[in-house]
Amino acid sequence: MPTIEISLKDLSRLVRKKLSVSALATALQYVKGEIESSEGDRLKIEIADSNRPDLWSTEGIARELRSRYGNEKSLAKFKTKKSGLKVIVEKNLRNIRPRTVCAVVRGLKIDDEILFQMIQLQEKICENFGRRRKEVALGIYDYNRISPPIYFRAYGPGEIKFVPLDFNVEMSLKDILAEHPKGKEYAHLLAGMKKYPVFIDSMDHVLSMPPVINSDFSGKVTKDTRDVFIECSGFSMKFLLPALNIMVAALADRGGRVETVDVVFPDGKMQTPDFTPGKILVNPDRARNISGLHVTDADIAKLLMKARYDVKNEHGKLAVLIPSYRQDVMHEVDVIEDMIISHGYNNIGPITPSLASTGKLTPVNNFVKKITELMIGLGNQEVLSYTLTNKDNMIKKMNIESMKIIEIDNPVSKNWSVFRTWITPSLIEFMSNNTNKEYPQRVFEIGEVVIYDAKAETRSKNPVMLALACAGSDANFTLAKQQLDFVLRTIGIEYVVEETEHCSFITGRVGIVYANGREIACLGEIHPKVLSNFGIEQPVCTFEMNLSEILSLIEKK
């Protein structure tokens, strides 16, 4: 979770209300934050919402709290005018770092605290939201030291030199990557490239070498700086546009005057920053149903305006305008959550049901309980792994070229970046971590997988699967089939096995199981290449069956 440092006096000034530490602790519920530590005027605040980079600064928190205290309501408005500046992106960056968005902010009065917040927000955006500068590298420059227009070009490792930030000697791009502390830290982002990206002005003064380091000439912002040029570079506008808007909005809240920049690409041009709000329709009945709040449509609109949305009635639904600096609102449920936060979780009282009821297991859980007992009775050990995994374990190591999967858009770690579509790779990984244990090994897991389904509202379905993996000298197709046969016959399912081909299994020793013409399972002996990928030296056989599908067959009888 991002932790930021702020000045309480500075925050009070931006909120336009004197805040005590205790009052702030209560108010931070609106930004999912809490005070981690305080020392005099300095506070460290942990923001629990890792999807709201606009809250990772004093300015962002203040913007949110101003509406809660009634100083402002609804969508934050940011005025812009044209700067006349052009940033020209050249085509030789296509396969290097092809995209950038830019802005100019004038009339800043920078003191120590503003400078601290600017640098802190820049670092948080790049490191957290920008995935350690891979998706977003954000640079801020003294605009009065730049000679327009600005060019975004690619240069060879020794083709150009400049003095990097806080250094006093010129260095080539190659030397920066090899010798500069930031160069060493981020060199992997440019590994294997024959040319490196560079921002440079019309007088051949280098602004920066993104995503590594600014120049000392124009890339140093001080308390004497009044006008700044801001650029965000990367690969996708879904990261770059909100990142730029967040930084620009923060400086606008400090009194800066925002000016747009014409960014010219080889395939078109655009004007940034763009503060045009997004739009989403919210069904007020669904909002009431999800939240459990007895509120009118007008009440919902007021609560959402406190959360910095604009709201209008549109054919029985609420047309909600989303701030341009928020990229986290993807579904009406996200808006409903903000409505509940505005109402206050602590203001929702518990309700005692008017009718007594008794709890019981669902049919699926009852079925899973029965299957678990059968598997344990066969001498197998139950394990539990995560629904999240990674492409390497689920696809590459399993000797599969590709498969339809659902990925996490902005994963914290690449080790947990996709949802599993089957459990078998997790069991194989478990065995790879226990090669020093006694054989034979027999483990099983019952759990959900996430499979892409274009017809579903969430574009996915979550069947419950049973997977078994046996390792040892006796692990073969026959053993897997014996285990599967016992389970299916015990629950009264008649089935047939048809030979098939699968890259994860040995040819001729893999089959698909059908019941009533529906595919319910697969089984076989794991391919030696897969075992080698996981560092397993014993034979392994597996089966994996769809318990949700089997339960539906049983219920139809």
The CATH number for 512's domain is 3.30.930.10
pLDDT at 305: 95
Q: What is the rounded distance in angstroms from the CA atom of residue 133 to the CA atom of residue 143?
A: 23
pLDDT at 203: 96
Which element (helix H / strand E) includes 114? helix 112-124
pLDDT per position as a tens digit, 145-186: 999 999 999 999 999 999 999 899 999 999 999 999 999 999
Tokens of 482: 């014996």
In DSSP terms, 197 is beta-bridged to 154
Q: Which of 272, 287, 316 is the last residue of a domain?
A: 272
Residue 32 shares a structural domain with residue 153: no
Question: Which is nearest to 523 in space by CA: 482, 553, 555, 490?
Answer: 482
Residue ranges for the chain with pLDDT beneath 70? 557
Residue 268 shares a structural domain with residue 287: no
pLDDT per position as a tens digit, 426-438: 999 999 999 999 9
DSSP 407-460: B-SS-S-GGG-EE-S-SHHHHHHHHHTTTTS-S-EEEEEEEE--EE-TTSTTSE
Q: Is residue 350 domain-resident?
A: no
pLDDT at 225: 96
pLDDT at 556: 78
Residue 298 shares a structural domain with residue 266: no
CA atoms within 13 A on the CB side of 383: 22
Instruction: Please tell me whether the peptide bond between 440 and the residue prior to it is cis, using omega within 30 degrees of 0.
Output: yes
Q: Is residue 179 domain-resident?
A: yes
Q: Structurally, how many domains does the chain consist of?
A: 4
Q: What is the rounded distance in angstroms from the CA atom of residue 458 to the CA atom of residue 354?
A: 33
pTM over the 0.75 mark: no
Q: Is residue 358 domain-resident?
A: no
Residue 369 shares a structural domain with residue 496: yes
| Residues 65, 66, 68, 72, Cα dihedral to 10° | -150
Residue 321 shares a structural domain with residue 381: no
Q: Is residue 353 domain-resident?
A: no
DSSP 358-403: -----HHHHHHHHHHHHHHHTT-EE----SEE-HIIIIITTT-S--
What sign results for the dihedral spanned by CA atoms 486, 503, 533, 420? negative
Q: Is residue 518 domain-resident?
A: yes
Q: What is the rounded distance in angstroms from the CA atom of residue 474 to the CA atom of residue 56?
A: 57
Q: What is the rounded distance in angstroms from the CA atom of residue 311 to the CA atom of residue 319?
A: 6
pLDDT at 353: 75
pLDDT at 356: 75
Residue 268 shares a structural domain with residue 140: yes
Residue 375 shares a structural domain with residue 469: yes
Neighbours of 364 (CB within 10 A): 13
Residue 191 shares a structural domain with residue 324: no
Tokens of 409: 């858009």
Residue 406 shares a structural domain with residue 487: yes
Question: Which is nearest to 245 in space by CA: 270, 220, 272?
Answer: 272
Structural domain span for residue 27: 3-68
Say how far residue 522 (Cα) sits from the centre of its chain.
33
Q: Is residue 525 domain-resident?
A: yes
Q: Which of 219, 242, 272 is the last residue of a domain?
A: 272
Sequence-distant (6+) residues with CB within 8 A of 319 are 279, 281, 311, 312, 313
Tokens of 495: 């089935």
Q: Is residue 393 domain-resident?
A: yes
pLDDT at 248: 98
Q: What is the rounded distance in angstroms from the CA atom of residue 249 to the CA atom of residue 239?
A: 16
Residue 52 shares a structural domain with residue 190: no
Q: Write the CATH number for 25.
A: 3.30.56.10
Residue 452 shares a structural domain with residue 394: yes
What phi and psi values does residue 252 have, to the nearest 5 degrees?
-65, -40
Q: What is the rounded distance in angstroms from the CA atom of residue 497 to the CA atom of residue 520?
A: 10
Q: Write the CATH number for 100.
A: 3.50.40.10
Which amino acid appears at position 164 of this protein? P
pLDDT at 454: 83
Residue 262 shares a structural domain with residue 308: no
Q: Which of 272, 299, 331 is the last residue of a domain?
A: 272
Question: Which is nearest to 480 in space by CA: 490, 464, 468?
Answer: 468
Q: Is residue 351 domain-resident?
A: no
